C-alpha cells in the first residue's frame, strides 16, 4: 500500500484566491504602480530582509524591476565584520553548540558614521525611487512610502548555509563550518530579525517570499494577515522537513514517500513552528512563510489565553520523528533542568520529552535511567576517558535498557539519561527548545561531515539526576498508561507525560466519532494508527480536514469543539491518535 503522507500541506486562504503575484516582472510592476499612485516626487521603498534572503538574487532583481535612482544596502553601513564578531561573541561564545539568547537589536550592528552618510544620501535625493534594502533597512530609512518585508523560512536558510550561499548577519563567513553558522543564527541573527519582524510585519505593504530561488511570490499585508487569521481558527499542518543523520533509518522513506536512493533519514520536524514553514494557498499559488509568524501574530487564538500568558508568543509543544529502523542508536544524552537552562542559556523552560513508538523491531529498546548502584564518579570518569580516545564507554554497565514495542510510551523528564536504540521509529513529543541536548556518548561515531560529533559531558554531569535508577524509572517513566473514559466506538487513555513535565498526552482508540475540545489551549495530534481520519466541526466552523497516518496536525485553541473519526480507507477499522496539550 503506497504512502499517502502529505509533505506539502497547504492552508487555502479563502477570499484571496487571486491575491498572489508571481515572478519578478509582475512584482516589480505592482510595486511601481503602487508607488506611482502615491503621487510623491520621491518614493522611498524599504525592503526589510530576514536573515537568509539571498542577496545575489534579490539585489539584481529589484534593481532591474524598480530601476531606482538610489539603492542603499544596509550591509554597506554595518560595523566591520570584526566589530560585529566582537559584539555578538558574548552570546555566541566559543562553544561549538551552545550560546545565549541575545538581547541585541539591529541598531547595534550599524556604524554610525556610515549610517549618517547613507541617511544624508537619502535625504539629498530630490526625485525618483530610492530603495533601501537589507536587514535593518527600516532603521536606516526611518521613514518610507512603501515597505516590503522579504521573509525567509529557517529550514531553507539552513540549506543555503550548507550550500555556502548565505552568511551570518553582518558577516562574510560563507565557507564557515555549518554548525557554527547555525549556532550564530539561532542565538543572534534570528532573534534580532524577529524583533524587527514583530514590529514591522503589521505595518508592511507587502510580504515577499523568495524561498524558492527564481520563483518569487508577493502578497499584500491584508492577504497575509487574512491567511494567519484563517489558519488560527481551523485544523492545519506545518510543512515537514527531513534530514539524514549518522544513526538514521529507513522507515520514513516508505511511509513519508521520500527519496529511496538517500542513505537514510534520521529526523523529521513535523511540528516545530520555530523551524517549520506554513504554506498559504492563494488560488494556484503557494506562499511559504515561517510558521512562527502565526505564533507571533495570532498567539491567543492559536495558543489560548492560559498558554499564551505562561509562555508568551512561543509554541511550547514539539512533535518530531527519530528513525532508527535499520539504523543505529541515538547518542546517549541528557537535557538540562529548568534552572540550568535559564541560568546558562537564557531560556525560561527546558526540553522535557517522551518517546512514543510508532514502530519497533523485535530487538528494539531504549536506554533510560541509571542502573541500580551506578557509581556517578566512575560513569563520568569512563565517559571522559572514552571521549579522550580511551576504551569505548560501556553504556550497558551504567544505563538501564528497556525493551519496547509499537505504541509504547516512554517518558523522559529533564535530567534523565536516555536514548533510543536501533530499529525503533520514535514520535518524539516534547517541549520546544530542542537545541539544548547534552550528548554524553555517541558510540564512537563521526557526523555526516566526517568530524566527531560534539560531546557535552561538562554540562551533562551537572544536570544528571542520579536517583533515577532502575526501580524509579520503572515506576515513573515506562508506559504509565491509564484508562480515562470510553464511549460508543472509542476509548481514551492517559499516557503521560511525567508529573514533572508540563505536557499532558491522551491517546484515543476509535472506530466511530470521538468528541474533543481544545479547552482554551492548543492541541497537537498525530494519527498513530489507521490510514486516514477526518477532523470536523460540529458547528461547521471550519471545513472538514483529512489527516493521514503519521501526520501531525494542530488544533488552535480558538477552534474549541471538534470531532475525529475514521475516513476513507480506514472506515470500519480502528484508528488511534495521540494528543498533546499544556497542563493548566
The 10s digit of each residue's pLDDT in 408-458 is: 999 999 999 999 999 999 999 988 655 678 999 999 886 666 666 778 899
Give the separation between CA 318 and CA 224, rounded to whole angstroms. Answer: 25
Name the β-bridge partners of 354. 411, 429
The pLDDT confidence band at residue 283, using thresholds 50, 70 and 90, is very high
Angle at CA 334, nearest 5°, toward 179 and 493?
115
Give the separation between CA 581 and CA 492, rounded to whole angstroms. Answer: 15
Q: Identify which of 296, 302, 286 has the alpha carbon closest to the alpha carbon of residue 16.
A: 286
> What pLDDT is stored for residue 45 in this prediction?
98
Percent of the chain with pLDDT over 70: 97
Give the separation between CA 73 and CA 267, rounded to whole angstroms. Answer: 37
For domain 10-231, give the fold: Rossmann fold (3.40.50)
Stretch 467-494: mean pLDDT: 96
Q: Identify which of 35, 41, 42, 46 has the alpha carbon closest to the alpha carbon of residue 140.
A: 46
Q: Identify which of 197, 279, 238 has the alpha carbon closest to the alpha carbon of residue 522.
A: 238
C-alpha torsion angle, residues 7, 507, 516, 430 (rounded to 10): -60
R_g of the chain computed on alpha carbons: 25
* The three three-digit cell numbers of residue 186, written as one number: 539561532
User: Could you give phi then psi for residue 28, rounded to 5 degrees?
Assistant: -60, -45
Q: What is the mean pLDDT of the chain?
A: 94
Question: pTM to 2 decimals?
Answer: 0.95
Give the separation between CA 309 and CA 76, rounded to whole angstroms. Answer: 40
> What pLDDT is stored for residue 310 in this prediction?
93
Query: pLDDT digits over 7-33, tens only?
Result: 999 999 999 999 999 999 999 999 999
For residue 355, say if its preceding peptide bond is cis, omega within 30 degrees of 0. no
List strand residue ranges (DSSP E) for 343-417, in order: 353-360, 365-370, 399-403, 409-412
Residue limits of CATH 2.60.120.10 in the chain: 241-476, 482-582
Q: Which residues contact 163 (CB under 8 A, 6 or more apart)?
A: none
Stretch 180-199: mean pLDDT: 96
> What pLDDT is stored for residue 7 in this prediction?
97
- For 482-582, CATH number out of 2.60.120.10, 3.30.365.10, 2.120.10.30, 2.160.10.10 equals 2.60.120.10
Query: pLDDT digits over 100-125, tens only?
Result: 889 999 999 999 999 999 999 999 99
Q: Identify which of 282, 253, 245, 213 has the alpha carbon closest to the alpha carbon of residue 61.
A: 213
What CATH superfamily is the domain 241-476? Jelly Rolls (2.60.120.10)
> What pLDDT is stored for residue 163 in this prediction?
95
> What pLDDT is stored for residue 411 in this prediction?
95
What separation in angstroms does the CA of 573 have from each of 27, 156, 576? 50, 39, 10
pLDDT at residue 584 greater than cutoff 90: no
What separation in angstroms does the CA of 582 have from each of 33, 73, 305, 528, 557? 48, 44, 12, 20, 11
What separation in angstroms does the CA of 198 have from each of 102, 296, 305, 503, 549? 16, 7, 19, 27, 35
Other C-beta atoms closer than 10 Å to the C-beta of 574 total: 13
Given CA atoms 249, 479, 367, 330 in this order, what sign does their dihedral have?
positive
> What pLDDT is stored for residue 518 in this prediction?
98
Task: Look at residue 283 and give its three-state secondary structure.
Answer: coil
The pLDDT confidence band at residue 168, using thresholds 50, 70 and 90, is very high
Query: pLDDT digits over 300-344, tens only?
Result: 999 999 999 999 999 999 999 999 999 999 999 999 888 888 887
Entry field: residues in the chain:
584
> What pLDDT is stored for residue 184 in this prediction?
96
Amino acid at each position: 500500500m503506497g504512502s499517502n503522507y502529505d509533505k506539502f500541506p497547504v492552508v487555502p486562504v479563502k477570499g484571496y484566491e487571486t491575491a498572489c503575484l508571481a515572478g519578478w516582472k509582475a512584482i516589480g510592476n505592482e510595486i511601481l504602480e503602487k508607488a506611482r499612485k502615491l503621487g510623491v516626487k520621491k518614493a522611498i521603498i524599504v525592503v526589510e530582509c530576514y536573515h537568509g534572503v539571498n542577496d545575489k538574487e534579490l539585489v539584481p532583481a529589484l534593481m532591474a524591476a524598480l530601476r531606482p535612482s538610489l539603492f542603499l544596502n544596509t550591509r554597506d553601513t554595518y560595523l566591520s565584520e570584526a566589530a560585529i564578531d566582537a559584539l555578538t561573541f558574548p552570546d555566541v561564545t566559543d562553544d561549538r553548540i551552545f550560546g545565549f539568547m541575545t538581547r541585541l537589536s539591529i541598531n547595534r550592528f550599524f556604524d554610525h558614521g556610515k549610517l549618517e552618510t547613507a541617511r544624508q544620501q537619502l535625504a539629498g535625493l530630490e526625485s525618483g525611487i530610492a530603495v533601501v534594502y537589507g536587514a535593518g533597512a527600516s532603521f536606516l530609512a526611518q521613514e518610507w512610502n512603501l515597505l516590503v518585508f522579504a521573509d525567509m523560512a529557517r529550514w531553507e536558510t539552513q540549506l543555503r548555509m550548507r550550500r555556502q550561499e548565505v552568511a551570518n548577519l553582518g558577516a562574510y563567513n560563507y565557507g564557515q563550518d555549518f554548525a557554527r553558522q547555525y549556532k550564530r543564527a539561532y542565538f543572534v541573527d534570528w532573534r534580532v530579525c524577529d524583533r524587527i519582524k514583530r514590529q514591522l510585519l503589521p505595518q508592511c505593504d507587502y510580504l515577499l517570499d523568495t524561498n524558492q530561488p527564481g520563483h518569487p511570490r508577493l502578497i499584500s499585508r491584508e492577504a497575509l494577515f487574512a491567511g494567519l487569521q484563517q489558519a488560527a481558527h481551523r485544523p492545519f499542518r506545518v510543512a515537514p522537513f527531513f534530514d539524514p543523520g549518522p544513526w538514521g533509518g529507513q522507515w520514513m522513506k516508505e511511509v513519508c514517500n521520500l527519496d529511496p536512493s538517500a542513505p537514510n533519514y534520521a529526523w523529521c520536524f513535523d511540528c516545530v513552528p520555530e523551524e517549520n514553514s506554513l504554506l498559504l494557498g492563494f488560488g494556484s499559488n503557494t506562499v511559504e512563510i515561517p510558521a512562527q509568524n502565526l505564533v507571533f501574530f495570532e498567539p491567543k487564538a492559536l495558543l489560548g489565553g492560559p498558554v499564551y500568558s505562561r509562555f508568551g508568543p512561543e509554541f511550547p509543544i514539539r512533535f518530531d520523528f527519530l528513525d532508527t529502523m535499520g539504523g543505529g542508536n541515538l547518542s546517549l544524552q541528557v537535557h538540562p533542568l529548568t534552572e540550568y537552562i535559564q541560568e546558562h542559556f537564557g531560556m525560561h523552560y527546558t526540553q522535557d520529552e517522551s518517546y512514543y513508538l510508532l514502530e519497533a523491531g523485535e530487538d528494539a529498546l531504549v536506554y533510560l535511567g541509571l542502573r541500580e548502584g551506578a557509581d556517578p564518579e566512575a560513569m563520568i570518569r569512563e565517559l571522559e576517558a572514552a571521549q579522550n580516545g580511551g576504551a569505548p564507554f560501556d553504556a550497558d554497565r551504567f544505563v538501564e535498557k528497556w525493551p519496547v514495542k509499537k505504541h509504547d510510551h516512554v517518558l523522559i523528564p529533564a535530567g534523565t539519561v536516555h536514548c533510543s536504540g536501533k530499529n525503533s521509529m520514535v514520535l518524539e513529543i516534547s517541549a520546544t527548545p530542542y537545541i539544548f541536548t547534552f550528548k554524553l556518548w555517541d558510540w564512537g561515531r563521526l557526523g555526516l561531515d566526517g568530524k566527531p560529533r560534539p560531546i557535552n559531558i561538562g554540562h551533562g554531569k551537572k544536570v544528571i539526576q542520579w536517583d533515577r535508577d532502575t526501580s524509579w524509572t520503572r515506576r515513573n517513566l515506562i508506559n504509565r498508561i491509564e484508562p480515562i473514559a470510553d464511549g460508543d466506538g472509542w476509548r481514551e487513555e492517559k499516557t503521560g507525560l511525567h508529573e514533572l513535565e508540563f505536557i499532558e498526552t491522551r491517546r484515543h482508540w476509535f472506530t466511530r466519532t470521538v468528541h474533543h475540545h481544545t479547552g482554551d489551549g492548543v492541541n497537537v495530534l498525530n494519527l498513530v494508527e489507521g490510514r486516514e481520519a477526518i477532523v470536523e466541526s460540529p458547528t461547521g466552523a471550519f471545513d472538514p480536514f483529512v489527516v493521514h497516518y503519521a501526520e501531525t496536525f494542530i488544533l488552535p485553541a480558538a477552534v474549541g469543539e471538534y470531532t475525529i473519526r475514521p475516513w476513507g480507507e480506514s472506515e470500519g477499522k480502528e484508528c488511534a491518535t495521540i494528543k498533546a496539550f499544556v497542563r493548566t
